[in-house]
């Protein structure tokens, strides 16, 4: 009897789970630049609603403090990387300045040249459950001794079908894509 009641309990839990979770993936390409002095870019991604209010901060990649590594007066300085976050001007003005870094599930170290994917499930972690409407994914990059670039991808939520939307960068970012499915 005990075995039967446990299997009924597990069946009830599985039956209550959603059949298909919504997937939301952001892919950012950091291009190889032919420059004399290369520094990895700081990158921030966030979502704004139709009123241009921040709906979610998805990720902030910046220089993390390396404990005991490197040389110079900055070693061990907790402000080493956060000092340059205001260089991500649009993100900073749109709410980045109000965040306390590091931010669990959002902030991370800068990324090397290449393609980087970050997956989210709406309603979990950094991505809240959205109400129906129009939104814009914004991704901004800034690099020391380099430039700045901001890419935008408008989208409607919830998606009726699987979609991939893209934007092309010209300097600090390569291809930006947003993939989601119901």
CA atoms within 13 A on the CB side of 11: 6
- pLDDT at position 149, please? 97
Rounded Cα distance, 68 and 175, in Å:
35
Q: What's the pLDDT band for 23 if we cut at 50, 70, 90?
A: confident
- pLDDT at position 66, please? 59
Q: Per-residue pLDDT tens for 111-140?
A: 999 999 999 988 888 888 889 999 999 999
pTM across the whole model: 0.81
Q: Examine the pLDDT at 1 and tell me if it is beyond 80.
A: no
Q: Per-residue pLDDT tens for 138-178?
A: 999 999 888 999 999 999 999 989 999 999 999 999 999 99
Q: What's the pLDDT band for 20 if we cut at 50, 70, 90?
A: very low
Q: What is the dihedral of CA 11, 14, 19, 24, to 10 degrees?
A: -170
């Amino acid at each position: 009897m005990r075995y039967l009641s446990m299997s009924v309990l597990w069946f009830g839990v599985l039956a209550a789970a959603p059949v298909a979770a919504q997937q939301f993936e952001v892919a950012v390409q950091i291009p190889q630049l032919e420059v004399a002095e290369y520094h990895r870019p700081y990158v921030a991604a966030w979502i704004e609603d139709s009123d241009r209010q921040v709906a979610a901060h998805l990720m902030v990649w910046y220089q993390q403090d390396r404990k005991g590594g490197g040389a110079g007066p900055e070693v061990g300085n907790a402000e080493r990387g956060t000092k340059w976050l205001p260089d991500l001007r649009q993100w900073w003005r749109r709410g980045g300045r109000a965040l306390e870094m590091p931010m669990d599930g959002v902030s991370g170290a800068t990324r090397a040249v290449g393609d980087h994917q970050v997956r989210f499930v709406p309603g979990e972690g950094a991505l809240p459950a959205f109400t129906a409407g129009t939104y814009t994914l914004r991704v901004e990059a800034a690099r020391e001794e380099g430039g700045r670039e901001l890419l935008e991808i408008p989208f409607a939520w919830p998606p009726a079908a699987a979609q991939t939307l893209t934007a092309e960068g010209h300097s600090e970012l390569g291809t930006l894509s947003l993939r989601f499915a119901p």
